[in-house]
Amino acid sequence: MRYRVSHRTTYSYDDDVSSSFGLAHCRPRELPWQHVASREVSIDPVPSDIADDVDCYGNIVSYFHVTEPHMRLTINALSDVTVTPTEYDADALLEPWERARPILHPGISRGAWAATEFALESPKARHVDAAREYAAASLTPGRPIGEAVTDLMHRIKTDFHYDKTATTVTSTVADVIEKRAGVCQDFAHLALACLRSHGMAARYVSGYLATRPPAGKPRLVGADASHAWVAAWIPGSDQWLAFDPTNDQWVADRHVTVAWGRDYGDVPPVKGVIFTEAKKSTLRVAVDVAPLEEYSQG
């Protein structure tokens, strides 16, 4: 499926900002299952310095420095992306989940060394006892990797309620488990804590999800949003099984991958530092993932 992705982030302030340093993860990755025909980022006011780099996980990061005084900063990213569903090695998915623990089995495959970091605890996906206990019902002895991960995904969707008011950016995995509610970022961190606390390697993935309206209804422009999901390492093939606990589905051609890391802290869409006397600021984000044919007609 081919998409035109638009992601606009706007910061407004009640006083001039004299200097703004920032970095953005908003350029989709080129991957075996994802082709990026174009990707561009524009910033208003125009930065005095802007550059792209590749971080240690292979993500494209845009760095910028705006020195023109401003009361509004807009980062606008546009991309043309084609996504195809990933085909997984069926035999590898049948391997016991216990083999997907690179720290215990460092020689099991060529990719084990790279997966090791994603089996460790990270700041936003702590290995709390409640997460380990919750995961145990899915990670039963000898259960196939694909089946175990899918069962955990199903249970998170069933047991946890999507609620934008239940958590904040500072909420922890323990908070999410206690409230049994959260948003996609929370459910991704929960899944990470569940798998990693049992030794499995899994990474946090950020990107976009194209929404599809009910039959006969037009797709709402702007209804899409930044999204987060998880990918679990499969040692038999060194693939990563990407799954979306928020929507209870394996990732396919509706998900556009931007970046991945240990957790949200590694790949926020935009973050930075400003110099200002402003006492109040607002943030507005608008994301649209449109099938390219529809975008052209509009």
Amino acid identity at 241: L
**pLDDT at site 223:** 64
**pLDDT at site 294:** 56
* pTM (two decimals): 0.94
**pLDDT at site 217:** 76
Residues 6+ positions from 87 with CB-CB distance below 8 Å:
none
Residues 6+ positions from 179 with CB-CB distance below 8 Å:
166, 167
**pLDDT at site 225:** 75
Residues 6+ positions from 58 with CB-CB distance below 8 Å:
29
pLDDT digit string (tens) for 105-147? Answer: 999 999 999 999 999 999 999 999 999 999 999 999 999 999 9
**pLDDT at site 211:** 81
**pLDDT at site 82:** 97
| CA 19 – CA 17 distance, rounded (Å) | 6
* Crossing angle for the helix pair 184-196 and 129-136, to the nearest 10 degrees: 80
Task: Domains for the chain: give ranges and CATH numbers.
Answer: 2-83+268-297 (2.60.40.2250), 90-262 (3.10.620.30)
Residue 138 region by backbone torsions, left for phi larger than 0, else alpha for psi between -120 and 50, else beta: alpha
Sequential DSSP letters for 105-168:
-TTSSTTHHHHGGGGS-BTTB---HHHHHHHHTTS-TT-BHHHHHHHHHHHHHHHSEE-TTS--
**pLDDT at site 212:** 74
Do you find a cis peptide bond into 213, omega within 30 degrees of 0?
A: no
Q: Can you list the residues of the chain whose pLDDT is less than 70?
A: 214, 219-224, 293-298
| CA 279 – CA 221 distance, rounded (Å) | 33
